[in-house]
Structure 1
Amino acid sequence: MVVLSQPVALDNHISVIPTYKPVPVLTSHSIPVVDLTHPEAKTLIVKACEEFGFFKVVNHGVCPDLMTRLEQEAVGFFALPQSLKNQAGPPEPYGYGSKRIGPNGDVGWIEYILLNANPQLSSAKTSAVFSQSPLIFREAVEEYMKEVKEVSCKVLEMITEGLGIEPRDSLSKMVRDEKSDSCLRLNHYPTAEEEAERMVKLGFGEHTDPQIISVLRSNNTSGLQICMKDGSWVAVPPDHSSFFINVGDALQVPFYSFV
C-alpha cells in the first residue's frame, strides 16, 4: 500500500529513472529491521530513514492469516481468463491494468490491481474487480487496507516523534483523512516461462516512489533491490511475514530539512 501526499496520475505514478547504469548487486543482511514494539523504535526508524530510506518492520500487528488470505485471493483473480480481468479495466486510474513499463515499453511487464484505500471513494472499476471474484476477496482487501493503514500511521507518527515535529499526527492525519488518496496496489509478475514467451524483462526497472511512504509486502519470491548512497545495489531478502517501508519523494523533502 502507498500513502500519497496529494492526488497524482496514478497510472504513471512510478518515476522511472532513464539514466540507469548497471552496477554489481550486493547481497546484504544489513537492511535495518525495526520492531515496532521496541521502546526506541522511533529513534531506530529515523536512523533507518537517514541512512537507507528503507527498512523492515516486525511486530506490526497485522494478522498473518489475513496477509495469506489476501495473497491467495489476489492469485485467484490474476488466474482468471484475460477476458474477465479486462472487464475491470483499463484503470481510470483504479481497476485492473496490464502493460509494459517505461517510456519506450522497455523496462518490464506487469499486471496489477489498483484500488483506492478509502472505500467511500470506490469507483465502477473497483466494483468490477470484485464482481469477478468471490465476496471473500473484497472482505480480505478491505480488512487488509484497514490494518495496513494503521501500520502506516504508526510509522509516520514515530517519524514525526523522532524528528521532534509537532503535532504528532502531522503526517498520519493525511492517511486518516476521509478524503485520503492512499491506495493499494496488487502486482503480479509473469513466471519465468511466461517471460520467455513474451520476450520481455520482468517487473519494474530502477525508480523512486513519489508518495510519502510505501508499505511493501512480498511472497517468498526474491527480486526487490534498493540502491545505496554509494550507488551499489542491495538485494532485499523476501519475508512474507513482515513489511518493508520505503521512503517516498514527498517525505524526503521535508525529512531532509530536519536532519
Structure 2
Amino acid sequence: MVALSNPPMEQFFVKTTKPNTKPIIIPDIPLIDLSKPESKQHLVKACQDFGFFKVVNHGVPAKFINKLELEAVKFFSSPLSVKEKSGPPDPFGYGNKSIGTNGDVGWVEYLLLNTKPESDYPENFRGVVNDYVSLVKKMACEIMELLADEMKLQPRNVFSKLLMDEESDSVFRLNHYPPFPEIQENERNGRKLVGFGEHTDPQIISVLRSNNTSGLEIFLRDGSWVSVPPDSESFFINVGDSLQVMTNGRFKSVKHRVVANGRKSRMSMIYFGGPPLSEKIAPLPSLMQGEEGSLYKEFTWFEYKKSAYKTRLSDNRLGLFEKITAS
C-alpha cells in the first residue's frame, strides 16, 4: 500500500445512515450515445434531472487514455520522496491527504495541473496530458454545443467558447485512492472512509474517467447517496455550479463524493472546464421566459473561484450568490 502522511484517522470517516441496511437500488444513470441524433434531447434531460450522465462513442481514442493512465500509475507508484518533489500544491502540484487549505482531508493523493501550455508538469507528463486534455475538451465542447442546439440558444458556442478561449481557466486533476484493507470492519459499524468529501464542482463542466474500481457516489434529490458503477471505457459528465447559474437553475450541479475501496486502488482523471477569470457568470438572457427573474447575482469567475476556495468542500458555495426572493 502506498504510504501517505498521517492526520488522525477519525477525520477520514463519515457515518452512514444506518449500519447493515439493505443497499439502495441504483437508479439508471443516464447513458448517452453521442453518435446518435437524439443525443441532444437526452443531454438536456440528464442535465435537468441529474446533473450527471455517462457518455459513449465519445471520440477519445483508447490509446490516449491508456498512455496517460500508465504515466499516472508510474507516478503514484513512486516513493513519496519523489512525488513530493512535485508539491506541495500551490494550488498546482502534488498533494497528499490534505485537500485545499480549509481542513478538508481524504484518503487520496493527487496531482493538480494547469492546462495552459506554459505550465510546469512532472517529468513525462506534458505530452500525454496535453494530448488527452485537447481531446476531452473537444468532447466537452461538442456536448455543450449539442445542449445549446436543443435549447435553441444562439450562438451555439455560447457555452463552449468559454472553454476554447485562450484565457480559459481550466484545470486537470489526477486522483489516486490507495486501498484500505481495514475498511470492512468500519463499514459493519456504519462508517465509510472518505476518499474525497462531498462537494459540487464550481466550474462549467467536469469530464471524469476512472479505472474499474468503484467509489464514486452521487447525491440524489431524495437525500440518498448512491454508488456509480465504474466503467473505464466511458466518460462521466458533471454539470458545474457555473453552468447551473448560466441556465438559471435549469441544469443542476450534482453533489458527489468518493469513498475508499478496501481491496483495489482507484485512479481517476478529471478535466474541469472553466471560463476566463474575467468572465461574467449570470443567467443567459435568451433563456429567461416571461417574467422570470434571475435566481443569482452576477459575478465573475474570479470572484466565484476565490469565494469557493475559501470554503469547506461540503459548503453550499452558490448560497452566497443566490438572490433572496420575497415570499
State the TM-score bracket (shorter-chain normalisation): 0.7 to 0.9
Three-state SS of the structure 2 residue aligned to 1:241 is coil
Normalised to the residue count of structure 1, the TM-score between the two structures is 0.80
Question: One-letter code of the match for 1:254?
Answer: M
Q: Does 1:56 align with 2:66?
A: no
2:40 corresponds to which residue?
Answer: 42
Residue 72 of structure 2 is matched in structure 1 by: 74
1:167 and 2:155 equivalent? yes
Q: How far 1:215 sits from its partner (Å)?
A: 0.4
Secondary structure of the residue aligned to 1:180 is coil
SS in 2 for 1:113: strand
Cross-structure match for 1:157:
145
User: In the aligned structure 2, how far is the partner of 1:181 from the partner of 1:65?
Assistant: 27
Give the greater-gyration-radius structure (CA). Answer: 2
Other structure's SS at 2:169 match: coil
1:141–1:167 CA distance, 2 compared to 1 (3 A): same
Aligned to 1:83: 81
CA distances 1:2-54 after superposition (whole Å, capped 9, x unpaired): xxxxxxxxxxxxxxxxxx88447524251000111110111110000111110
Aligned CA-pair RMSD: 2.4
Gaps of 5+ in 2: 1-13, 185-191, 251-286, 289-327
Once the 2 structures are TM-superposed, how far is the Cα of residue 104 of structure 1 from its aligned partner?
4.3
Q: 1:145: which partner in 2?
A: 133
Q: CA deviation at 1:97?
A: 1.3
Contact 1:114–1:186, Cα closer than 8 Å, also in 2? yes
- Is 56-65 or 137-146 further displaced after alignment? 137-146
After TM superposition, give the deviation of residue 192 of structure 1 in Å: 1.4
**Paired letter, 1:186:** L
Name the structure 2 match of 1:10: none
Distance 1:232 1:88 in 2: 38
How high is the TM-score relative to the length of structure 2? 0.64
Say whether residues 1:210 and 2:184 are aligned partners. Answer: no
CA distance in 1, matches of 2:15, 2:200: 15
2-structure distance, mates of 1:101, 1:146:
26
Cα distance in 2 between the residues matched to 1:195 and 1:100: 20
The answer as to 2:29 corresponding to 1:28 is no
CA distance in 2, matches of 1:219, 1:91: 24
Instruction: Please identify which structure carries the higher helix content.
Output: 1
From the superposition, tell whether residues 194 and 83 of structure 1 become closer, same or farther in structure 2 (CA, over 3 Å).
Answer: farther
Q: 1:118 aligns with which of 113, 116, 119?
A: 116
Deviation at 1:99, TM superposition (A): 2.6
Q: Distance in 1 between matches of 2:183 and 2:75?
A: 19
The answer to whether the 8 Å contact 1:96/1:112 transfers is: yes
In 1: Cα distance, 2:242 partner to 2:171 partner: 15
Q: Tell me by how many angstroms 1:108 deviates.
A: 2.1
Counterparts in 2 of 1:172 and 1:141: CA distance versus 1, 3 Å: same
The 1:244–1:142 alpha-carbon spacing in structure 2 relative to 1, beyond 3 Å, is same
Give the stretch that moved more between structures: 233-242 or 21-30. 21-30
Question: Bigger relative contact order, structure 1 or 2, given CA contacts below 8 A and separation 6+?
Answer: 1
Task: Note the C-alpha offset of 1:71.
Answer: 0.9
Which residue number corresponds to residue 3 of structure 1?
Answer: none
Residue 101 of structure 1: how far off its partner (Å): 4.2
Q: How far is 1:202 from its partner?
A: 3.7
